[in-house]
């Protein structure tokens, strides 16, 4: 039987240069951590080990029984024994397969449970990560970590770990069995193993390099096709009269591809030719030396023994090959665990305090005391911001785009923590307050309204799962969205589409106002959309917002004069600093930043 597993396809048995460069250091700590995930399932794991050992032994038994079939059955001319050993051999093969099935089941069970644990651990860890993490990391990377990397762990357990165990056990049992039969022939058998193992590895490497080259070439072909056969690409080719040039380019890459493919196929052929011969050398040598031993030196060796030895030698090919190649899988697996652990080890930036404080009463009072803040530790976004919003009052924050208005409100529910100074909510530093309590008391209607792809009802219930139908209707009425909902065929059960795309910008914002009302926070923050809504939508939002802010402590990031005028006091922010504060009339008269904003922005929008 020719050895299998020597070839590496793309992503196969050899490491890429990048992988080699990024090889993880396999430390005791890393291994301990990897195996700590196995610990809760140690009983099942022992069962798997027993199954693997039993299945490997049973798998080898038929080879050993061949000896008895020949010696006692055929050569001994004993039909009864012949049939007995044949049936035994079949039964043993069946048993080995049966145990294999059980082992696969338990192994998959363990793998699934470990990945289940890891996924949950990762998800709850990610939920604790700050907004900074989500804004500075690529969303795709986060999802990959959650999905393919953790799925990879499953394959590590069901394939790599299993392969190491079963191949090692099979190899050891085969070698022990060979020595039991005859030590000279066993030694000879072991000596020929490198004869096939090493060329297999070498040929596999060559073929893998060729496959990779062919793949790169294929990418190049695809690139050309994508560029030149696209609508705009073709237009460009035609307008510049580059047909011939592009065709020549395509042809030459295509030619390269043909050569590489032939080379790759032939590398396989030569390899198999050599391999077939080499793999046959082992058995032939055993027959030769075995024959000489029987004829000249040791007549206790039987024909059956030699046959068993040859069969057992054949059984060592695959495990040796797999074990020789397992190093790459092992490194990849460790790199995978390392990547996952890197995520687990990321410190939780915004954590619940050890002894959280709770105010006597939540009223929504907010106090900023000399707050400095930077997103990246370099560029100062807020500088010495101080203000006091008394409970029941409302304030408007205005300022040019990018001046830091949203940043100010991000600090209240602790999406980020201040770098200096402090933010107090109902008299307590937000960093000392119970995080979930704080957040449940701050309601934000953001510029970018996010609705889940579900019904309006489900989106509303997200804020308060125990809200009754009446409460929902009441909130929708207050948010001036109920008339719209009533008109829909399915009413509250109307689906909002992916991210609420089936609703208009104004409708979405009013649904999100209703959602926040159901949450019933002590502080309401309304980040007014800068994007233009039509004046009807704007008026509806305005009508909704005005009575609401009269009822509770509110902060409005305002872009429209009508919103600004609804607030009790106006704060003007510029370059991260509060530069003015007061009432509309006095600020207009002051001739500062507000006057400029009024003349350039608010007045125009109001007109
Ligand atoms: P707009 O009116 O346009 O919404 P704004 O006054 O609310 O603007 P902020 O969103 O607070 O402004 O942004 C203030 C500054 O901080 C901007 O220069 C912005 O580029 C920067 N910034 C905002 N969010 C982040 C972030 N997550 N990471 C790094 N920088 C950020």
Q: For residue 65, give the CATH number of its domain.
A: 1.20.1560.10
Ligand 1 site, residue 401, Cβ cutoff 6 A: yes
**Whether residue 466 has its Cβ less than 6 Å from ligand 1:** no
As a whole number of angstroms, the distance between CA 168 and CA 114 comes to: 24
Is 113 within a domain? Answer: yes
Q: What is the pTM of this model?
A: 0.70
Distance CA 410, CA 405 (A): 9
Is the same domain home to 338 and 360? no
Using the mean position of ligand 1's atoms as its centre, give its distance from the Cα of residue 405 in Å: 8
Count of structural domains within the chain: 3
Residue nearest to atom 23 of ligand 1 (CA): 407
In a domain, 148, yes or no: yes
CATH number at residue 496: 3.40.50.300
What value, to the nearest 5°, has the Cα angle with vertex 37 and ends 31 and 42?
Answer: 105
Q: Whose CA is nearest to atom 25 of ligand 1?
A: 375
Does one domain contain both 50 and 165? yes
549 found inside a domain: yes
Q: What are phi and psi of 380, to 5 degrees?
A: -75, 120
Q: Whose CA is nearest to atom 8 of ligand 1?
A: 402
What is the Å distance from ligand 1's center to 601 Cα? 19
Angle at 397 between CA 396 and CA 400, to 5 degrees: 140
330 and 362 part of one domain: no
Residues in the chain: 607
Ligand 1 in reach of 407 Cβ (< 6 A)? yes
Burial of 207 (0-12, 13-18, 19+ CB in 10 A): buried
Q: Which two tokens stand for residue 150?
A: 């953790």
**CB distance 576 to ligand 1 below 6 Å:** no
39 and 96 inside one domain: yes
Q: Which atom of ligand 1 is nearest to the CA of 576?
A: 14
Tell me: do 474 and 426 sit in the same domain.
no
Is residue 61 within 8 A of residue 85, CB to CB? The reply is: no
pLDDT of residue 235: 85
Atom of ligand 1 nearest to the CA of 376: 29
Answer whether 145 contacts ligand 1 (Cβ < 6 A). no
Measure the CA–CA gap between 212 and 258, rounded to whole angstroms: 14
In a domain, 227, yes or no: no
Please work out whether the CB of residue 446 comes within 6 Å of at least one atom of ligand 1. no
Is there a domain that residue 111 lies in?
Answer: yes
Query: What tokens appear for 531 in the block?
Result: 């994007």
Ligand 1 centroid to 576 CA: how many Å? Answer: 10
Residues 416 and 461 in one domain: no
Expressed in angstroms and rounded, the spacing between residue 300 Cα and the centre of ligand 1 is: 89
Which residue's CA lies nearest to atom 22 of ligand 1? 375
Q: Which domain holds residue 575?
A: 350-441+524-607
The answer to whether residue 269 is domain-embedded is no
pLDDT of residue 281: 84
- Spans of the chain below 50 pLDDT: 1-11
Answer yes or no: do 42 and 158 share one domain. Answer: yes
DSSP state of 23: P
Domain end residue (candidates: 280, 309, 344): 344
Residues 448 and 562 in one domain: no
SS3 of 475-505: the string is HHHHCCCHHHHHHCCCHHHCECCHHHCCCCH
Please indicate, yes or no, if residue 261 is contained in any of the structural domains: no
Q: Is 448 in the pocket of ligand 1 (CB under 6 A)?
A: no
Q: What is the number of other CB atoms lying within 10 angstroms of the CB of residue 573?
A: 24
Same domain, 339 and 354: no
Report how far ligand 1's centroid is from the alpha carbon of 375 (Å): 9
Tell whether ligand 1 has an atom less than 6 A from the beta carbon of residue 410. Answer: no
Tell me, in angstroms, the distance from the centre of ligand 1 to residue 52's CA: 58
Quick one: pLDDT at residue 348? 84
Domain end position, chosen among 289, 319, 344:
344
Determine if ligand 1 sits within 6 Å of the CB of residue 559: no
Write the CA distances from 98 to 44, 89, 108, 167, 170, integer angstroms: 17, 14, 16, 18, 17
Residue from 135, 374, 404 to probe ligand 1 pocket by mutation (most atoms less than 8 Å from CB):
404
Strand order, beta sheet including 380-389: 380-389, 366-374, 420-425, 428-429
- CB atoms < 10 A from the CB of 348, how many? 12
Last residue of a domain, one of 520, 548, 579: 520
Cα of 402 vs centre of ligand 1, distance in Å, is 5
The DSSP symbol for 281 reads H
**CA torsion 127→131→132→135, rounded to 10°?**
100
Q: Which of 89, 3, 105 is nearest to 52 (CA)?
A: 105
Is the Cβ atom of 135 under 6 angstroms away from ligand 1?
A: yes
Residues 530 and 394 reside in one and the same domain: yes
In a domain, 49, yes or no: yes
Q: Is 406 in the pocket of ligand 1 (CB under 6 A)?
A: yes
From 375, 446, 579, the mutation candidate for ligand 1 (largest count of ligand atoms within 8 A of CB) is 375
pLDDT of residue 303: 86
Separation of CA 296 and ligand 1 centre (Å): 92
Using the mean position of ligand 1's atoms as its centre, give its distance from the Cα of residue 135 in Å. Answer: 12
- Integer Rg of the chain from CA: 37
If asked whether residues 409 and 472 sit together in one domain, one would say no
Q: Are residues 433 and 574 in the same domain?
A: yes
Give me the pLDDT at residue 499, please: 63
Ligand 1 atom with least separation from CA of 408: 11
Looking at the CA of residue 559, tell me the nearest atom of ligand 1: 2
- The phi and psi torsions of 565 (rounded to 5 degrees) equal -70, -20
What number does the ligand 1 atom closest to the CA of 404 have?
Answer: 11
Binding site membership of 167 for ligand 1 (Cβ less than 6 Å)? no
Select from 512, 494, 503 the least CA-distant residue to 443: 512
| 67 in contact with ligand 1, CB cutoff 6 A | no
C-alpha 38/C-alpha 111 separation (Å) is 9
């Amino acid at each position: 039987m020719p050895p299998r597993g020597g070839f590496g396809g793309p992503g196969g048995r050899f490491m890429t240069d990048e992988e080699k460069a990024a090889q993880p250091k396999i430390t005791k700590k890393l291994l301990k951590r990897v195996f700590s995930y196995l610990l809760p399932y140690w009983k099942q794991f022992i069962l798997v080990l027993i199954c693997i050992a039993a299945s490997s032994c049973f798998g080898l038994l038929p080879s050993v029984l061949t000896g008895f079939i020949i010696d006692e059955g055929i050569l001994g001319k004993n039909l009864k024994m012949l049939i007995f050993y044949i049936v035994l051999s079949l039964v043993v093969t069946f048993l080995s397969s049966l145990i294999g099935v059980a082992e696969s089941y338990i192994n998959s069970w363990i793998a699934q449970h470990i990945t289940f644990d890891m996924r949950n651990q990762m998800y709850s860890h990610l939920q604790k990560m700050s907004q900074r993490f989500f804004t500075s990391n690529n969303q795709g990377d986060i999802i990959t970590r959650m999905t393919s990397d953790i799925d990879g762990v499953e394959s590590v357990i069901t394939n790599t770990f299993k392969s190491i165990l079963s191949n090692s056990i099979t190899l050891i049992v085969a070698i022990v069995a060979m020595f039991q039969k005859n030590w000279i022939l066993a030694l000879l058998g072991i000596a020929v193993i490198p004869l096939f193992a090493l060329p297999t590895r070498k040929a596999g490497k060559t073929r893998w390099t060729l496959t990779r080259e062919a793949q790169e070439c294929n990418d190049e072909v695809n690139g050309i096709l994508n560029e030149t056969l696209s609508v705009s690409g073709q237009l460009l080719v035609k307008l510049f009269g580059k047909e011939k040039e592009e065709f020549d380019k395509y042809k030459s890459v295509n030619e390269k591809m043909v050569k590489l493919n032939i080379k790759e196929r032939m590398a396989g052929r030569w390899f198999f030719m050599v391999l077939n011969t080499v793999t046959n050398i082992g058995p032939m040598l055993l027959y030769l030396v075995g024959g000489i031993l029987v004829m000249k030196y040791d007549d206790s060796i039987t024909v059956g023994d030699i046959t068993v030895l040859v069969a057992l030698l054949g059984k060592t090919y695959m495990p040796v090959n797999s074990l020789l190649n397992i190093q790459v899988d092992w490194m990849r697996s460790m790199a995978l665990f390392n990547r996952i652990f890197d995520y687990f080890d990321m410190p939780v930036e915004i954590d619940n305090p050890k002894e959280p404080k709770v105010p006597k009463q939540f009223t929504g009072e907010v106090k900023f005391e000399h707050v400095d803040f930077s997103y990246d530790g370099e560029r100062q976004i807020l500088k010495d911001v101080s203000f006091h919003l008394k409970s029941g009052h409302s304030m408007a924050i205005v300022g040019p785009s990018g001046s830091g208005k949203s940043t100010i409100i991000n600090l209240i529910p602790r999406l980020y923590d201040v770098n200096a100074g402090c933010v107090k909510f109902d008299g307590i530093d937000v960093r000392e307050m119970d995080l979930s309590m704080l957040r449940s008391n701050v309601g934000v209607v953001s510029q970018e309204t996010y609705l889940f792809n579900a019904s309006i009802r489900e989106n509303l219930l997200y804020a308060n799962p125990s809200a009754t139908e009446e409460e929902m209707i009441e909130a929708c009425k207050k948010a001036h969205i109920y008339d719209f909902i009533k008109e829909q065929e399915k009413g509250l059960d109307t689906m909002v589409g992916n991210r609420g795309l089936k609703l208009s910008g104004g409708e979405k914002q009013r649904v999100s106002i209703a959602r926040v009302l159901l949450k019933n926070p002590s502080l309401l923050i309304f980040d007014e959309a800068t994007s233009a809504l039509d004046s009807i939508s704007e008026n509806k939002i305005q009508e909704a917002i005005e009575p609401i802010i009269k009822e509770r402590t509110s902060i409005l990031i305002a872009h429209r004069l009508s919103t600004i005028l609804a607030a009790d006091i106006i704060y003007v922010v510029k370059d991260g600093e509060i530069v003015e504060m007061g009432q509309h009339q006095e600020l207009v008269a002051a001739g500062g930043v507000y006057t400029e904003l009024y003349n350039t922005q608010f007045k125009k929008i109001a007109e």
